[in-house]
């Protein structure tokens, strides 16, 4: 997680108005409905209120909903810890977190040959630096520097260094500093470049520079896509660290009984995760990361894809539990008083660990250091790490940092031009594409009940009996909608969540929907905002002219009237913004955001049926076409379906280098079970599906 705001991709920095207007259609072979839509495409809006900001009366709704859910999970975690009374209880808890971490991260991949090569050696006064390239997976190259103290006569302690969000990876001054500092104290140190940083750019242009942005942007772009095929960047990043340890232990200079791991920020993340997935460490010191998931959620702090492991909250795990997996080995949490990683959470994590370690009889093996300054692996934190590792190994009694010599980036390059792409390393998106194609061969085409079962399981759909309650909001006039009046109903789909429904007609209403309006209705699931789309979307003008059906629109959670104003200002469409923030937490809760939105649509359909509308034409546009697709599979009240700008397939997103669909529209593990064309085929057979101008992987730019 960087201290500065990441750069913004053009696709996600579109204004809401421009985003709503994107897309195009052709006239060949269109239905009557589609031709009516085309006739309206060029129609200019006439409302004087056309440029008014879109309505958003529930901007904090989604934030408070997720805060409550994360608090509930934390309470369960704390209850487990509070129940521990004996050493045997503590040992069972350690074993439990190890198993749950493995479930979250998934099985280890095959340990293939490292094929390590030393490409260069640099001689310095008290140590040498070897530049090394190895494969963590076949064809997937890792670049690393090995710092070796001179004069070694017997094996000495080794340390794997993990990097935070630096554009130059292992060559960043702070990361060179701790590597050199440890080497000068007698440790062998292997520090490696993270995916998407330093020499390991995955989206490389002809100039070998990243085409989308180093670090955060590459992590999000590659990591979000991986979820579709059942992979996760948390494990991919951690596996690089495991293989780095594998290589370190091949060196005769290293004592395999004394190996540690440390890193800062994103490297603090990896240090923490590596404690959970790798049992061979004997000491650890994560810096500027450890806090609690609750503090991050409450503080509206987004985190990279690899910092949001799948199911981790559902499995009642927190940051401290990854360190507990190492108990009772020595662990020191390194924090900063002025960090954006909340030091209160770090303190809470430490106290949980201290109680566990006390039950295990090693209370002194856990520690918490708080530096006085801002985020970063600054000297005071590095010296606290030296002190801790020296206490664990006894190799040195010198905790102060010696004078250092910071190398030029090129000196530490392991590749001729500073890029593994120049050596033909397979980029991460190619692995994802290959996995998608493998899954397509393995999947059996589903329809009917089998498809419903697969969709319900993958989306984690809940089933609730009864009719949802609702609020009737005050009328807002002069909106420029295609009918004269609109009344707003806030339908409570579950506690704390309102799906905002407009009834649009030429009839002025102040109360509940008329109970004698007939069975037929149209329900439109908006792309981004029903309020804005009612002014601009030709489908809605056409639907309003159908006098046999009453027109309703719906903003499911997280868009339109509940579009969050959280995280960074005006961040919703940015890769690191509020929409991503809640989608990532949904992954950790094992409750896909798209499944939650589909649940909202189904509850609104139940509400319509309770008001007499049991013959519904369901229309979805863009992002809204996805919950519309899934809701139509289940609701008996949907008799007809129209989708505009619907995603062609999840496979299209998984099998391309660049895509423009946000994480909120993607479903973890979906391609292990089904894909969208199966849903469309089923709806074509059963509910006369009409598709208009589908969007491919690049959305409106497809």
Q: Read off the pLDDT band of 54 (50, 70, 90).
A: confident
Q: What are phi and psi of 158, to 5 degrees?
A: -120, 155
Of the listed ranges 3-12, 158-167, 528-537, 649-658, the one predicted with least confidence: 3-12
Q: Do 286 and 163 contact (CB within 8 A), yes or no?
A: no
Which position has the higher pLDDT, 199 or 22?
Answer: 199
- Average confidence (pLDDT) over 214-240: 97
Residue with tokens 């006239």: 27
**Starting from the edge strand earliest in sequence, which strands make up the sheet with 283-287, in order?**
117-123, 127-137, 140-149, 188-192, 156-162, 254-264, 283-287, 331-336, 366-371
Cα distance between residue 460 and residue 440, in whole Å: 22
Q: How far apart are CA 527 and CA 149, in angstroms?
A: 59
Rounded mean pLDDT, 559-578? 94
Cβ within 8 Å of residue 90, ≥6 positions away: 84, 327, 356, 359, 360
> Is a pLDDT exceeding 50 seen at residue 20?
no
Contact indicator for 489, 584 with CB cutoff of 8 Å: no
Q: 336-354: per-residue pLDDT in tens?
A: 999 999 999 999 999 999 9
Name the more confident of 596 and 50.
596
H/E stretch holding 71 reads: helix 61-82
| Residue tagged 């060196």 (tokens) | 251
Q: Is the pTM of this model over 0.75?
A: yes
The answer for 387, left when phi > 0, alpha when psi is -120 to 50, beta otherwise, is alpha
Q: What is the pLDDT of residue 169?
A: 97
| pLDDT exceeds cutoff 90 at 51 | no
* Residue 60 pLDDT exceeds 80: yes
Strands (E), 219-321: 254-264, 283-287
Q: How many CA within 13 A on the CB side of residue 33?
A: 17
Let me know the angle formed at the C-alpha of 11 by 8 and 15, rounded to the nearest 5 degrees.
Answer: 90
- Of the candidates 699, 562, 549, the residue with the CA atom closest to the CA atom of residue 619: 549
**Amino acid 28: pLDDT:** 38
* pLDDT tens digits, 477-519: 667 899 999 999 999 999 999 999 999 999 899 999 999 889 9
With contact defined as beta carbons under 8 Å apart, do 126 and 184 qualify? Answer: yes
For residue 99, give every residue at least 6 positions away whose Cβ sits within 8 Å of its Cβ, in sequence order, or none: none
Query: Smallest Cα–Cα separation from 608: which of 517, 473, 532?
Result: 517
- pLDDT at residue 50, as a whole number: 56
Residue 363: DSSP 8-state:
G
**Residue partners of 272: CB distance under 8 A and separation at least 6:** 286, 289, 290, 319, 322, 323
Rounded to an integer, what distance in angstroms lies between the CA atom of residue 138 and that of residue 382?
Answer: 34
Residue 52: band (very low, low, confident or very high) from pLDDT cuts 50, 70, 90: confident
Residue 107: per-residue pLDDT: 94
Please report the pLDDT score of residue 49 as a whole number.
54
Whether 598 and 522 have beta carbons less than 8 Å apart is answered as: no
Residue 14: pLDDT above 80? no
pLDDT score at 22: 44
30 or 577: whose pLDDT is higher? 577
Give every CB contact of residue 684 below 8 A, 6+ residues apart in sequence.
none
How confident is the model over 502-511, as pLDDT tens digits?
999 998 999 9
Task: Check residue 479 and give its pLDDT.
Answer: 78
**Beta-strand relationship, 520-525 and 485-494:** unpaired
pLDDT at 656: 98
What per-residue confidence (pLDDT) applies to 23? 39
The rounded mean pLDDT for the chain is: 93
Q: Which conformational region is residue 496 in: left (phi greater than 0), alpha (psi within -120 to 50 degrees), or beta?
A: left
Asked if residue 589 lies in contact with residue 316, where contact means CB atoms within 8 angstroms, the answer is no
Helix (H) or strand (E) holding 119: strand 117-123
For residue range 95-110, what is the model confidence (pLDDT) as tens digits? Answer: 999 999 999 999 999 9
Q: What is the pLDDT of residue 12?
A: 34
- Which pLDDT score, from 0 to 100, does residue 535 have? 94
Q: Per residue in 606-648, pLDDT tens?
A: 999 999 999 999 999 999 999 999 999 999 999 999 999 999 9
Predicted pLDDT of residue 478: 65
């Amino acid at each position: 997680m960087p201290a500065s705001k990441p750069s913004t991709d053009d696709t996600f920095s579109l204004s809401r108005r421009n985003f709503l207007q994107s897309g195009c259609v052709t006239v060949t072979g269109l239905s009557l409905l589609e031709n009516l839509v085309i006739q309206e495409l060029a129609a200019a809006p006439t409302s004087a209120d056309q440029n008014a900001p879109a309505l958003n009366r529930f901007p904090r709704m989604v934030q408070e909903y997720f805060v409550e859910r994360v608090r509930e999970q934390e309470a369960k975690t704390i209850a487990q810890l509070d129940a521990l009374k004996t050493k045997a209880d503590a040992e069972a808890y350690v074993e439990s977190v190890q198993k749950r971490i493995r479930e979250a991260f998934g099985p280890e991949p095959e340990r293939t040959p490292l094929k390590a090569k030393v490409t260069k050696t640099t001689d310095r006064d008290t140590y040498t630096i070897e530049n090394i390239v190895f494969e963590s997976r076949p064809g997937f190259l890792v670049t690393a520097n090995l710092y070796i103290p001179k004069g070694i006569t017997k094996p000495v302690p080794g340390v794997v260094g993990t990097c935070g969000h630096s554009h130059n990876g292992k060559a960043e001054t702070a990361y060179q500093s701790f590597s050199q500092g440890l080497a000068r104290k007698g440790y062998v140190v292997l520090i490696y470049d993270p995916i998407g940083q330093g020499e390991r750019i995955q989206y490389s242009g002809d100039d070998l520079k990243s085409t989308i942005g180093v670090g955060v942007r590459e992590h999000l772009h590659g990591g979000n896509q991986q979820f579709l095929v059942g992979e996760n960047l948390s494990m991919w990043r951690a596996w690089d660290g495991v293989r780095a340890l594998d290589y370190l232990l091949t060196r005769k200079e290293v004592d395999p009984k004394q190996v540690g791991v440390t890193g800062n920020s994103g490297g603090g993340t990896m240090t923490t995760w590596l404690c959970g997935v790798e049992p061979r460490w004997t000491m650890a010191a994560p810096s500027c990361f450890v806090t609690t998931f609750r503090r991050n959620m409450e503080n509206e702090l987004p985190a990279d894809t690899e910092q949001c492991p799948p199911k981790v909250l559902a499995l009642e795990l927190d940051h401290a539990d990854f360190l507990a997996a190492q108990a009772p080995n020595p662990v020191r949490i390194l924090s900063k008083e002025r960090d954006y990683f909340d030091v209160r959470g770090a303190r809470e994590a430490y106290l949980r660990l201290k109680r566990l370690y006390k039950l295990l009889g090693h209370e002194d093996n856990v520690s918490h250091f708080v530096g006085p300054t801002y985020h970063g692996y600054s000297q005071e934190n590095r010296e606290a790490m030296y002190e801790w590792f020296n206490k664990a190994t006894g190799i040195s009694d010198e905790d102060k940092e010696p004078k250092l010599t910071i190398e030029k980036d090129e000196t530490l390059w392991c590749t001729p031009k500073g890029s593994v792409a120049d050596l033909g390393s397979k980029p991460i998106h190619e692995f994802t594409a290959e996995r998608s194609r493998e899954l397509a061969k393995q999947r059996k085409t589903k329809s009917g009940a089998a498809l419903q079962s697969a969709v319900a399981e993958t989306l984690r759909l809940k089933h609730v009996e009864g009719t949802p309650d609702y609020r009737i909001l005050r009328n807002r006039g002069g909106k420029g909608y295609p009918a004269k009046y609109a009344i707003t109903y806030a339908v409570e789909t579950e506690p704390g969540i309102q799906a905002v429904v407009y009834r649009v007609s030429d009839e002025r209403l102040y109360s509940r929907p008329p109970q004698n309006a007939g069975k037929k209705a149209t329900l439109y699931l908006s792309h981004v905002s029903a309020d804005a789309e009612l002014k601009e979307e030709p489908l809605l003008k056409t639907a309003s002219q159908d006098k046999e059906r009453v027109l309703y629109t719906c903003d499911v959670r997280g868009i339109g009237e509940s579009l969050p104003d959280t995280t960074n200002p005006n961040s919703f469409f940015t890769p690191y913004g509020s929409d991503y923030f809640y989608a990532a937490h949904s992954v950790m809760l094992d409750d896909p955001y798209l499944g939650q939105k589909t649940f909202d649509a189904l509850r609104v359909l139940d509400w319509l049926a309770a008001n007499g509308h049991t013959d519904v034409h369901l229309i979805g546009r863009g992002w809204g076409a996805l919950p519309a697709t899934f809701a139509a599979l289940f609701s008996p009240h949907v008799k007809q379906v129209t989708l505009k700008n619907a995603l062609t397939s999840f496979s299209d997103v998984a099998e391309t280098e660049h895509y423009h669909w946000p994480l909120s529209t993607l479903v973890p593990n979906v391609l292990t079970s089904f894909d969208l064309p199966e849903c469309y085929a089923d709806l074509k057979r059963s509910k006369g599906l009409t598709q208009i101008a589908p969007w491919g992987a690049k959305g409106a730019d497809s």
